Amino acid sequence: MKKVFFIFILLSFQSLIFSNEKMMENPEQVFSEAVQLSSVGHFDKAIQKFLYLIEHGYNDRDVYYSLFDTYASKASVLRFSGKMEALNELYQEEMERVKEAIKIYPDDKKMFYYMSDVAKNLNLVEEYVNSLEQILKIDEQDIIANFYLGEYYFLNRQYKEASVYFKKVISLPKENRDIDYMALYRSYYNLGMIYLLDLDYKAALDNFEKARNIYDKDCELLKTIALTYATLLEYDKALEKIRQIPEYCQTDDLIEIYGALLFVKDDPELKDFLGKNKKLSTFLQAIDSYLNQNYEASLDKLDSFVRERQVLTFYSLYLYYMNYKKTGQRKKELEQAFFLGNKAREAGKIDMAIEYYKELKENTNSIPHLYWLIGSLYDDKNDFTNAIYYYDLYVKHPESKEYKVSALIRMSDMYYRTKKKKEAENLLKKAKAIAINKTDIFQIYYYSGLLNFEGKKYRVAMKDFKEALKADEKQPRLYFFIGTCYYELGDRGNAISYLEKGRNYEEQSPEMNNLLAYLYSLEKRNLKEALSLVNSALSVYPDNFAYLDTLGWIYFQQEEYEKSFEVFSRVLGLIDAEKNQEGMDEIYYHVGMLYEKMGDKKEAQKYFLKAFKINPRNKLVQLKVK
């Protein structure tokens, strides 16, 4: 019996070996069977076959792709069934297999996408970010990896880092894929939210509107656009946008702001609107009481509304202001005028802000600060006459201290811009004479440096900027200007040194990154880093022809002439309509050098001559002109 049993086991074992050998003689059939099993929901059997193929040396990347897709399908079933423990075990198993696949295919983007998915599911943050960064090392123009990294930083409130990736998504060429347009849509939307948090409402709206042009059915986006226009005090646009929002998207807060807009515009529609909607909001009831001349009730309801919302908007402040005006409470009216001026200034409504601030001139406690405030607003709108008038009132006031140096510098600059250099110099001397603290010293020498830089007095400008640097060594703009001065004076080594130091304080400065990239290209060193730097600059300003010129010249130095030609063709298209701007001689010189390298000497000479006409003192061009 034992002998019979042993023979049976031996035969079974031989049969199994034969069966396996037979199976591996036709791995394509096994793979096809596994795919079929996966497609009909037999995930465990499919996974078993995929793993069998891998363990027997048939580890083609398509086997791994199908295995990971099957893991994802099984995960969906487990998640829907609420089997979270089994789901976690499945992800752990998948993670091991993904790591195994990446060792075999380390340059396969798709493998790293699988890694990012499973890392996200296991809440492995470091592995998730690393896998996306690996994708960008393989292909820095991968839209989705750039978007996912942007979204990761956005959700973690690291908005500066998020902006870089969202801007990269926007600048990259798109394929005709839904996922690319989803990434583009969300990048515009999220950038808009970042600008909104920074109170840069116009930039926010620009991005929101671009997002809406891609997809105009998102209720939250439509609502955000309308509310942003309302915050900007663009009453008509805000009303127009709210009226365009479908009824199914309308919410109580949107209806409330609609009523507020009608109130500040004194719109005839307001009465009927309140009749239908005042029960929805305490604020609308406060407006209704005001219109019925029941001012005390209006103020009571408004107080209740503000306590409830814990926020004071322009519209609630305006209702306070109007109530106090009607009830003759002048002191409180002026307080609200000041707050309304602040809100108008934040919204960029300078004329409105000035009108509210001017109401405060009767309040002597507001002076001289009020003079500075009004002067700075006229300054913002380039009304030099009125700005100088109010700055001068501020400077001459016996109690002016905090902004005295700033006011003198601003007046000096205005006189300089209007060609009154003597007055400008006298005011700058006055500012230097009273400057004591580091902030004032920084302002004086930075401004003086800018004037000398603009006048191409690079040695003097550099001296000023270095004095400013003593007052504030962490100002990246100073390193940029000092680096630029050295570059203009022909000292590339010091130029590079200062720009590299500047990047320690601001890595994402487009100007700094472009100039450093260009200097690296001139020195024919760090070309890979140069390419990364100029691409960072172009992610912010994709059509800047100076930055594109740098990119084209880097490709030239890398002997990638086709890429260089493609970039310079774009540059020439951008500057066709431009007049002979400063720096264009270098662009034409680069194009000439490219044609010369490509063997077209006649075309090269044409561009060398163009460069010579713009700047006959360019020594490199002089050597090429015949």
Q: What is the pLDDT of residues 526-579, one digit of tens each?
A: 999 999 999 999 988 988 989 999 999 999 999 999 999 999 899 888 886 555
pLDDT of amino acid 27? 85
Distance CA 171, CA 163 (A): 12
Distance CA 81, CA 83 (A): 6
Looking at 292-306, 428-442, 505-519, which range is the least confident one? 428-442
Q: Which residue has the tokens 């792709």?
A: 65
Averaged pLDDT for residues 341-369: 90
Work out the pLDDT band at 14, boundaries 50, 70, 90.
Answer: very low
Please return the burial class of 505, using the count of CB atoms within 10 Å of its CB with bins 0-12, 13-18 and 19+: middle
pLDDT of amino acid 11? 39
Averaged pLDDT for residues 55-76: 92
pLDDT, one tens digit per residue, over 416-475 is 989 898 999 899 999 989 988 898 999 999 999 998 998 899 999 999 999 999 999 999
3-state secondary structure labels for all residues of 60-115: CHHHHHHHHHHHHHHHHHHHHHCCHHHHHHHHHHHHHHHHHHHHHCCCCHHHHHHH
Work out the pLDDT band at 22, boundaries 50, 70, 90.
Answer: very low
Work out the pLDDT band at 581, boundaries 50, 70, 90.
Answer: low
Q: Which top CATH class is 217-364? A: mainly alpha
Consecutive H or E run containing 571: helix 561-575
Q: Which residue has the tokens 């700047």?
A: 615
Could you tell me what percent of the chain has a pLDDT over 70? 95
Distance CA 476, CA 486 (A): 16
Q: Are the beta carbons of 386 and 355 closer than 8 angstroms?
A: no
pLDDT, one tens digit per residue, over 587-609 is 999 999 999 999 998 998 999 89
Distance CA 547, CA 559 (A): 19
pLDDT of amino acid 171? 87
Work out the pLDDT band at 618, boundaries 50, 70, 90.
Answer: confident
Distance CA 305, CA 425 (A): 54
Work out the pLDDT band at 24, boundaries 50, 70, 90.
Answer: low
pLDDT of amino acid 89? 94
More confident residue, 424 or 10: 424
pLDDT, one tens digit per residue, over 379-421 is 999 999 999 999 999 999 998 888 999 999 999 999 998 989 8
Q: Cβ of 425: how many Cβ atoms within 10 Å?
A: 14
Looking at 3-7, 64-68, 359-363, 396-400, which range is the least confident one? 3-7
Query: In terms of Cα–Cα distance, which of 424, 464, 429 is closest to 447?
Result: 464
Distance CA 424, CA 407 (A): 12
Is residue 240's pLDDT more than 80? yes
What pTM was computed for the model?
0.68
Query: In terms of Cα–Cα distance, which of 420, 418, 413 is closest to 446?
Result: 413
pLDDT of amino acid 25? 56
Which one-letter amino acid corresponds to residue 121?
A: N
Dihedral in degrees, nearest 10, Cα atoms 539, 540, 542, 545: -120
Is residue 12's pLDDT more than 90? no
Which one-letter amino acid corresponds to residue 270?
A: L
DSSP-assigned states of every residue in 399-464: T--TTHHHHHHHHHHHHHHTT-HHHHHHHHHHHHHH--SHHHHHHHHHHHHHHHHHTT-HHHHHHH
Looking at 24-38, 66-80, 104-118, 311-325, which range is the least confident one? 24-38
Tokens representing 105? 């295919």
Averaged pLDDT for residues 79-88: 93
pLDDT of amino acid 2? 41
CA-to-CA separations, 477 to 214, 232, 352, in angstroms, rounded: 36, 30, 33
pLDDT of amino acid 15? 43
pLDDT, one tens digit per residue, over 256-276 is 999 999 999 999 999 999 999
Distance CA 120, CA 232 (A): 39
Distance CA 97, CA 115 (A): 10
Q: Cβ of 29: how many Cβ atoms within 10 Å?
A: 10
Distance CA 246, CA 435 (A): 59
Distance CA 544, CA 529 (A): 20
Compute CA 231 distance to the chain's CA centroid, rounded to the nearest angstrom.
Answer: 21
Q: Cβ of 246: how many Cβ atoms within 10 Å?
A: 9
CATH 3.40.50.10470 correct for 24-139: no
pLDDT, one tens digit per residue, over 344-356 is 999 999 999 999 9
pLDDT, one tens digit per residue, over 185-232 is 999 999 999 999 998 999 999 999 999 999 999 999 999 999 999 999
Q: Are the beta carbons of 598 and 577 closer than 8 angstroms?
A: no
pLDDT of amino acid 197? 93
Is residue 621's pLDDT more than 90? no
Distance CA 235, CA 261 (A): 6
Q: Cβ of 542: how many Cβ atoms within 10 Å?
A: 14
Could you tell me what percent of the chain has a pLDDT over 90? 76
pLDDT of amino acid 363? 76
Distance CA 150, CA 187 (A): 8
pLDDT of amino acid 26? 84
pLDDT of amino acid 624? 81
Q: Are the beta carbons of 53 and 23 closer than 8 angstroms?
A: no
Is residue 88's pLDDT more than 90? yes
Instruction: State the chain's mean pLDDT as an integer.
Output: 90
Is residue 90's pLDDT more than 90? yes
Do 24-139 and 217-364 have matching folds?
yes
For the chain, the domains span: 24-139, 217-364
Distance CA 170, CA 181 (A): 10
